[in-house]
Amino acid sequence: MTAIHDGTDRDPDAWRADMIRALRDQNAITSDSVAAAFAAVPRHRFAPEAPLEAVYDLHRIVPVKKDENGLNVSVMSAAHLQGVMLEQADVTPGMNVLEIGSGGVNAAYLQELVGSDGEVTTVDIDRDIVDRARRCLDEAGYRQVKTVLADGERGFPDGAPFDRIIVTAAAWDIPPSWIDGLTEKGSLVVPLTVCGTTRSIAFDRDGAGLLSRSYRLAHFVPMQGGGAAEERKVLLREGVVVQTDDMRVPLNAQALNRALDAPRLVRWSGAAWDLPDELDLYLTLNLPQAVRLHAAKDVIEKGLVAPAVQFGVPALVSEDSLAYRTRRDNEDTGGFESGVIAHGPQAEALADQYATLLRRWAEHHRRRGAATFRYLPGPAPSPLPQDAVLRRHGIVTASWT
């Protein structure tokens, strides 16, 4: 076979073999079954318009459809994330699997994993995507995969119960149809977003709810339809945005913007800074009034906010003040020390609260995978526990060991 995509003579099989080797080296693929699925599926046939270099890159997405603002609404997910999620899903031959969010290639991997005795159904809310996935699956020889046009919020009761449900768009909540659609021992792998940060969480059934088995950092296009996120994004000034999905958090744009012009209070925690994704998760779920603070590069370059903000950082807000994490070199250890930058009339109090959490995390939870998530469906208890995240269909809680 010759490469038709990028004008070079390199065979897609060679690109694929390199990709699988690298995915194994990076521990995205850890099992022979997932490696075999990746080897069997001609990934480039699911993105015929993209160069092989992009299709077989570990971390690159391939855009498939954008909205009127130019934002991606459908992409072929990066191979690394697909590998991670398929490992989390632990799919074995004969299983009945539902994928929510189609593209074709991941459904083909799933079909390889369930084998000829298993079934794969992939559901997408967008007709263009379903049609495209159907075409690619047929052309690549995966006619047995079922493609369905539907809002995944409702699951796919006609095909239930499923041994596995794998969601490939960022979900803000877990609707009853996903839990009810699982077999007794079924699992759900879902990229769950809390306050602008997403983890792919592998959940097992636990009574009426769900209990996490593993989680990994993930990035996905947002879920559309009935399950779309309820969140607020507020522009404080050009290039500075705060976002939250907790309706109880006060977001006074004028007062917070004024706070940014107040002198910066910097407080060093004395604690180690590392594993930023794990630290951010802990802060997001433990700060009493958490938002995510984003700033554009030019705002950072002007020195208004610290570089940590560029990719979004958990911040603590009050009516008129805000605080977020930063770091500095720790010459004694060779690593970094965490700290807080705070602005506004309540800067001292917010910095103290924030720094306490930085120290608590470093002392007790500074390792990968230290969190356990629970999803409890149904009406939220009153009063809502401090650590609970309120959703439409239930609550999410996270505990740290």
Ligand X SMILES: C[S@@+](CC[C@H](N)C(=O)[O-])C[C@H]1O[C@@H](n2cnc3c(N)ncnc32)[C@H](O)[C@@H]1O
Separation between Cα atoms, residue 241 and residue 386, nearest integer Å: 25
The answer for 195, left when phi > 0, alpha when psi is -120 to 50, beta otherwise, is: left
CB of 244 to ligand X, least distance (A): 21
Distance of closest approach, residue 389 Cβ to ligand X, in angstroms: 20
Taking each helix axis from N to C end, the angle separating 12-25 and 79-89, rounded to the nearest 10 degrees, works out to: 60
Map tokens 């907790």 to a residue. 246
Pair 162, 185: CB distance under 8 Å: no
Give least dist CB 123 to ligand X, A.
5
What string marks each residue from 113 to 152 as x (binds ligand X by CB under 6 A) or -? ----------xxxx--x---------------------xx
Measured from the CB atom, is 224 or 318 closer to ligand X? 224
User: Which residue carries 């610290």 as its tokens?
Assistant: 306
Residue with Cβ nearer ligand X (197 or 269): 197
Cα 319 to the center of its chain, rounded Å: 29
**Which range binds ligand X by CB under 6 A, 8-16, 97-105, 251-259, 317-325?**
97-105
162 — phi, psi (to 5°)? -105, 145
Nearer to ligand X, 223 or 305 (CB): 223
Interface with ligand X, residue 100, by CB under 6 A: yes
Q: Are 337 and 248 in contact (CB under 8 A)?
A: no
Between residues 267 and 391, which has the closer beta carbon with respect to ligand X? 391
CA contacts within 13 A on the Cβ side of 160: 17
Measured CA to CA, the distance from residue 341 to residue 138 in angstroms comes to: 55
3-state class of 34 per DSSP?
helix
Helix (H) or strand (E) holding 72: strand 72-76
Residue choice 12, 83, 103, 191 for contact with ligand X (CB under 6 A) = 103
Q: Is residue 105 a contact point for ligand X (CB under 6 A)?
A: yes
Closest CB to ligand X among residues 126, 278? 126
What's the min distance (Å) between Cβ of 166 and ligand X?
A: 8
Binds ligand X (CB under 6 A): choice among 96, 168, 187, 243: 168
Between 129 and 283, name the residue whose CB sits nearer to ligand X: 129
Site string for ligand X, 58-77 (x = CB under 6 A): ---------------xxxxx
Q: Are 127 and 149 in contact (CB under 8 A)?
A: yes
Whichever of 74 and 269 has its CB closer to ligand X, that residue is 74
Using the rule CB under 6 A, give the single segment among 87-95, 221-229, 267-275, 361-369 that binds ligand X: 221-229
Footprint of ligand X on 342-401 (CB under 6 A): none
Task: Choose between 11 and 128: whose C-beta lies nearer to ligand X.
Answer: 128
Alpha helices in 183-272 (DSSP H): 253-261
- Strand pairing class (72-76; 96-100): unpaired
**CA–CA distance, 388 with 384 (Å, rounded to integer):** 7
Is residue 178 part of the contact set for ligand X (CB under 6 A)? Answer: no
Task: Examine the residue annotation and report whether 200 is marked as an active-site residue of this protein.
Answer: no
Instruction: Pick the catalytic residue from 77, 212, 269, 318.
Output: 77
Q: Under rule CB under 6 A, which residues in 222-251 are in contact with ligand X?
A: 223-225, 227
Work out how close the CB of 128 gets to ligand X at its nearest, in angstroms, rounded to a whole number.
9
The first and second tokens of residue 259, run together, are 């706070």
Contacts of 278 (CB under 8 A, 6+ apart): 365, 366, 367, 368, 370, 371
Q: Is 322 in the site for ligand X (CB under 6 A)?
A: no
R_g of the chain computed on alpha carbons: 22
Beta carbon of residue 103, minimum distance to ligand X (angstroms, whole number): 3
Q: Do residues 148 and 123 touch, judged by C-beta distance below 8 A?
A: yes
> Least CB distance from residue 150 to ligand X, whole Å?
7
Q: Is 338 in the site for ligand X (CB under 6 A)?
A: no
Residues forming contacts to ligand X in the complex (CB under 6 A) are 73-77, 100-106, 123-126, 129, 151-153, 168-169, 220-221, 223-225, 227
Q: Which residues are catalytic?
A: 77
